[in-house]
Chain A
Amino acid sequence: MIRIAAASVSVCVLRQPRRLFSPDLRAFADEELMALVHDGDARAFEVIFDRHAGPAFSLAYRMCGRRALAEEIVQEAFVSLWRSAARYDRTRGSVRSWVLRVVHNRAIDAFRRELSSARHDVADDWISELLPARERTEDEVERRSDAQLVRSALDGLPPDQRQVIELAYFGGFSHAQIAEALGLPAGTVKGRMRLALSKLRIALGEPAGVLP
């Protein structure tokens, strides 16, 4: 009896400090969270998901136009991110960029596996159920401002250049498919892509660098 009582006391004493020092992971920066994710912390990954799943789903939905497929792409992407957390390298960009690159690549993979046959021909009547993201924080307001800047840069492109960017990046089409659809030489399509990205780069404030 005495031993049991002593054990109970020690458990109580140990538990209290753990509650006191339990950190609020939502206050952590993405890079700090990724270090925890690398160590297998699912709670840290949950915060990463909450921060970036919205943009990830929005990109996937923009690319495939189908809710179910967009959710499938996002789920596959985040599970793969959990498995490959060790691969995240902060010197190569932000966590947001990393997440979106993975989602983009997964969407293209899905297209090329023909999981979404005739995806551009089928309207998604679920669109009315989509929940527009709310502006909840200053960060979101800032991101909306960034979004407006990027949209303006895209709108500023000549229509033929914007078209190839839309088809390639958001449509997941290869340059050969675009050339065939538009009845253009492949070289012309590649040239328009290069011109468009160069103009976007300048419009978004990057130095001209090696590009004309």
Chain B
Amino acid sequence: MTGSDPSARSPGCGNDAAPYVLGALEPAEARAFAEHVQVCAVCRDEVAALTPVLDVLPASVPRYEVTSALRRRVMHAVRSEPKAARRPRRSLRWWTHDAARMLPRPAVAIGLAIAVAFGVVVGTRSAGSPTRVIEASVGWAQLRVAGGHGELIVDHLSPAPPDRVYELWLQRGSRIPAPSTLFAVTSRGTAVVGVPGDLSGVTRVLVTVEPAGGSRVPTSRAVIVART
């Protein structure tokens, strides 16, 4: 994470945190701010501080009960859905086998190259030390893991297509990958992405190309697969 890097701050740093948590930024602004938060500790702390206020604001509205008709409709829809426990396996199969056609061909090519590269993990560079570096054999990407936290460094990765964004996922065992963070690459195809949260129990770190704003489950084939 480069959160302590002062160069990541801008003169207007912090101004967008409040409208961001209120949902009052325009979609493009929200995407840009979400990327900025990844590299700016000031804004990240401010978002973390303001978010709990948003959680209690709904308590101020007059309380009404839902109608029994709405309850029936929702539960009918729920019971018509496949059971949740079966979804991860089905989603993963679809995501890993069928969704590649959703990606532009260059992204697929790059993705396959990097996925293959990560599939041949060359191993732990400093076994036994607090920091582990797992890297691709061709050196296009690295996942640095230290103290349960990770940082993904990518290079030679094409910018995501218009209205698309790279999304990072954490997968624990065979469970469906959980969304982690969004990021973009520079014009030179580089990015340093801090992996939020604790990596304990995470078996794979994945990157997919998703619609702007991100997705709740992967909708395309992983372009980066790093086994921790």
Contacts and interface: CB of A to CB of B under 8 A. Distances in A.
Interface in A78-120: 78-80, 82-87, 89, 93-94, 97, 100-101, 104-105, 108, 112
Nearest to B46: A210
Interface string B72-86: 011101110101111
Contact of B79 (A39, A42, A169): A42
Contacts of A211: 46, 49-50
Nearest to B73: A75
B81 A201 contact: no
A190 B15 contact: yes
Contacts of A104: 23, 54, 58
A189 B65 CA distance: 34
Contacts of A174: 19, 24-26
Contacts of A112: 27
A141 interface: no
Q: Which of A41, A54, A105, A147 has the most CB of B within 10 A?
A: A147
A33 interface: no
A56 to B, nearest CB: 8
A54 B67 CA distance: 9
Given A46-B75, A75-B74, A133-B64, A150 B24 contact: no
B18 A210 contact: no
Contact of A194 (B17, B63, B64): B17
Q: Number of contact residues on B: which range applies?
A: 35 or more
A39 B84 CA distance: 6
Interface in A135-167: 143-144, 146-147, 149-151, 154, 165
Contacts of A108: 23
Nearest to A193: B18
Size category, A interface: 35 or more
Nearest to A98: B55
B78 A55 contact: no
Question: Which DSSP category, helix, strand, loop or mixed, fits chain A's interface?
Answer: helix
Contact of B58 (A46, A58, A132, A193): A58
Interface stretch (B116-124, B152-160, B175-183, B185-193): B175-183
Contacts of B56: 146, 150, 204
A134 B77 CA distance: 27
Interface of B: 14-19, 21-27, 42, 45-46, 49-50, 52-67, 70-71, 73-75, 77-79, 81, 83-88, 175-176, 178-179, 216-217
Given A104-B23, A104-B58, 16 more contacts: A37-B84, A38-B85, A46-B75, A49-B71, A71-B66, A71-B70, A87-B179, A101-B54, A143-B59, A168-B24, A191-B15, A193-B19, A194-B14, A194-B17, A206-B49, A206-B52
Interface of A: 37-42, 45-46, 49-50, 53-55, 57-59, 61-62, 71, 74-75, 78-80, 82-87, 89, 93-94, 97, 100-101, 104-105, 108, 112, 130-134, 143-144, 146-147, 149-151, 154, 165, 168-170, 172-176, 178, 187, 189-191, 193-194, 196-198, 200-201, 204, 206, 209-211
